[in-house]
Structure 1
């Protein structure tokens, strides 16, 4: 799936907090803030500044740390600006100076003429690079939207799917009342991070923690149950599909069949739960979440039960053969 257009200005305006904060501010080249960032990677332009431009990764964000700034000062003292001018002939997305460092006035002039944004952060180069790569990997991650409800149950992210009116929101509401947390209702945005982690969140931050309950209307989960009943995003670790009870369908009664669903190329464990009057769906989902936690710890209840049955059958058969011998007649 194509990634939306992401510009340097979008990077500066991102509302990032705590360990994800980039602390970026623009110190030059404001006319180029609309430049698009196409590649979620970084480059240290040391070789380019020395005049070696073979395989120059100009499509990436250029990071200037203490080493690059020291070399820029050396070039300025020697009045050598040809390599800098050549660097800005490439369509660089932006240049970022770490450690609150500043380039010389000559660098600013060349960047302004090329309309290339110059940004600054107070973070060290290594810390800033790791944060920026983490942020970019999330932004450029493959994504899709699914109609369902995402809740956190005993630490497991459970995506509840099903046809409209089957009772997804009602089941989620009961789970919230029992102390679990809502991530998103109705539309869930899913991103595949690092190639194997599915992160789900609400499609809209403003209405993400509201729920539509037929016969009741729109309710605000935060106001009704408090901020402890919500969270902004959660890894999807289990998919529960609710469906109307079909008497002609054979449902798994032992749990030995491991169903999965493919979401953005990642296989996620899936359960099909039939809905009919008298079935307590929230308790079933709670139990499924706890059972999934046991599986991640290496304990499979259904497989252990199956092995115990086989052992019992084998021992009983052996006992029948033993007592059926002629020596005991």
Structure 2
């Protein structure tokens, strides 16, 4: 079997590893492509487990990439959110809040946690990837686990219920029904919007039900004059949400963290650079019998 035939079945897994390390679809794709080039140049005869070997290459490339990524995020305009990815139907292993918690870890802690807790690698195997001994890798993962524990959802949300709440939120927010909107929100709800300095967005999170309702009172006036189009309700980075086409022609994703039946956090992606991969796929897939509204899935 040639090198490409061995590599291709592992590509989706490698993309998941790279995306969860980097939070960027484009960067993940670049890393996986570089991994493929290195695979072509490798003496493959001694490789007994290509999956583990390729995951090791991707993880090391991501660790190198994170050094420059951290510097870029220090000058980022407003809140930084990972690229939105429309998830498969099965429950997701890494949600958006967890990815944000991973951002606060060191690159080595992040790698140890993801490889062990998410992808099921042994500490011995992780030691070979990180060039540390197994005991050190165990400590890295334990420290990471302690930091991200609070990001795990306390209440599992049924997919259909979560998407129904997302649809209710869209209807209430676009119609200006503030009473209906307020009934959906937790008292300490937060809104995080990422415009990246490219489109209007709050440069700090909006915190508290009253402040979020004030924001949506103002937005309702804008929506009345410049309506947005609901393309799809979907699971976005492990959270229920929806994809819209806004009046400026750009896509937008909105994802909801739901706690005990109420919306506890709202994550709005407006940065066109982070949404381009959705629109590119949508245009490419729009043909006879194709559903033009569906953004891409990472499965």
TM-score (norm 2): 0.23
Determine which structure has more spread, i.e. the larger CA radius of gyration.
Answer: 1
Larger strand percent: 1
Larger helix percent: 2
